[in-house]
Structure 1
Amino acid sequence: MLRLLQRGTCLRAMSVEAVVGEAGVSKATLYRRWPNKEALLLHLLKCLQAEIDEDTDLTGLPLREGLFRVLDSIRRPYLSERSGSNLAVLIAEIRMLPEVNAAFLHTVIGPRRQALHDLLAAAQRRGEIQADLDPLLIGELLIGPVLSRSVLHSDAPAPDARFCRQVVGSVLDGILTPSN
């Protein structure tokens, strides 16, 4: 399925026959594990996410480094050879499949959003970040530029690690308490 997506086949036009042909397996093999191509897609997205999340343990990290790792983990799927720019198209297609979209938000996006929220809330409890700021808003302020460069503005330079560090620094300059 990933190879078909890489070659520009959109999800709606992708047949189960094309998927099994590309994988070199029978339909029965595919249907034994997944009820349909949407379930297979969700499985693939979870696997891609799991690879990224292995590198994104935030336990015990200083705030700045933890935020950098979150942003870096967001930009990488858009730049990898395996997913390329088709990931943006794929996510747009997923939004049109309510069940797949709900599962994607619950199993892939939700845990990442929660980890970022927890990191920011812990920093607020320690007095590092202004207590009156909404951690969800802070998360959006951090993630927005990376997603904008990755998905919306293909004419802009792709976000790299340096860009992610600049975003973290810029946002933190505005939200840290004066003593930090």
Structure 2
Amino acid sequence: MSSVDEGDYRRAVSRFATGVSVVTTQDGHLDHAMTANAVCSVSLDPLLMLVSVEREARFHDAIIEAGVWGLSILPATARGTAQWLATRGRPLHGQLDRVPHHRGEVTGVPLLSEALAQLELKTVQSHPAGDHTLVVGHVLSVQASEHPGDALVYYRGRFGALP
């Protein structure tokens, strides 16, 4: 067991600036989405990415069951979208109604239309990790803006911009 104080740990890792994205999936006919900053490129051969999903989150069971998911990397102008999709207890039905999105051509998962980049992925592995699951996906498609604006970042518990 660790003797590290959870508050000290949270304060320390909040000093690590991360990009902000929205991870999406579709379970049955219901769209699911969550704001995520624990996303990582894993491999170029094969193309793999991972997302860390809290096991108690509604999104967890949806992404595991669906087996496919989308990743939309957010621009600085999407702070409201990031906050909305990070809100615990938001309505499950229609959570993307206020967010411009379209369906991925390969998987049909929702992708945010105003994102700096959009990826479609197929889950190839999942690994329990404490109170989260690391979901590893094989990249099936990529779209990236030729002229991206500023990126949305998360630093010290707040959303901000990074040119």
TM-score (norm 1): 0.22
Question: Which fold has the larger relative contact order, with Cα–Cα distance below 8 Å and residues 6 or more apart in sequence?
Answer: 2
Structure having the larger proportion of residues in strand: 2
TM-score (norm 2): 0.24
Larger Rg: 1
